[in-house]
Structure 1
Amino acid sequence: MQYDSLDLALTAKRIPRENWPLIRRITEYIGVRGYQLASNYVKASRSNGCPDLHIYYGYTGGFMSEQEAINAAGDVERWQFDGRSGLWSILHPENKTREGGGGNGRQTHRESAVCPNCHLTVPSNNICDTCGWEQSGQG
């Protein structure tokens, strides 16, 4: 489904409202022409034809450089999403990597695996909710 409105797309994917101001800042800086729902994220198509942003519950990926991520999102936690593509991601205030769901100011991480692709905590079933990566063995 295609959306012209960021708010409608974020509502449809149940992205926490606590993350909306940061996401809005990012999309305004980047310049987005439209939004499309994917299986577990909102795809934001850039106006300039560069790689799409992928807006997940707890992070946004698709920045072309670390500097672009900083310029768009400010001084937030960021990482290179995939060494092959060179794209970067930033962490939202409300996310699933922090104990209690994040957004509560606590930085204590759970004692469990972290997906090497998404950098999110893997649930107890050892399968990443975001990309499907499966932790083998004891981890």
Structure 2
Amino acid sequence: MSTERVLFAFVIVLALTLNVGFIAGDINDINHHNVYELFAALVVSLIATVMKFGDRSPLGSSMLATSLVADLQLIAAAAAWGFYASGGAALTMHQGATVVSLSIGAAVANVVSVVLLIIEMANLRR
């Protein structure tokens, strides 16, 4: 068992679970979604992307692409939340749904990344 592969898989799965933790709840109620969890999901997703730059496996480019998509979606969600909250008022249902729906897109990209990781691990020869 390679410590490097374990850490790689850990960070990829952590990015997915933090993202899913953020999107869990009523899409129309922003009180069900924590801004700090969105921040954590974004930070871990960016770390996963940096780690994927060093991956030279056959599926590495696809995994990097999914990670870049997740980063873009999470950055857009965080930017939207920051923009909407800059006025000082609470987010409306529509604004909250926009933030959460962008995060759902990132979760889909993270799911694809985890599936690719599982495929790659299943194809490893000992």
TM-score w.r.t. the length of structure 2 is 0.26
Q: Which is strand-richer, 1 or 2?
A: 1
TM-score w.r.t. the length of structure 1 is 0.24
Q: Which has the larger radius of gyration?
A: 2
Q: Which is helix-richer, 1 or 2?
A: 2
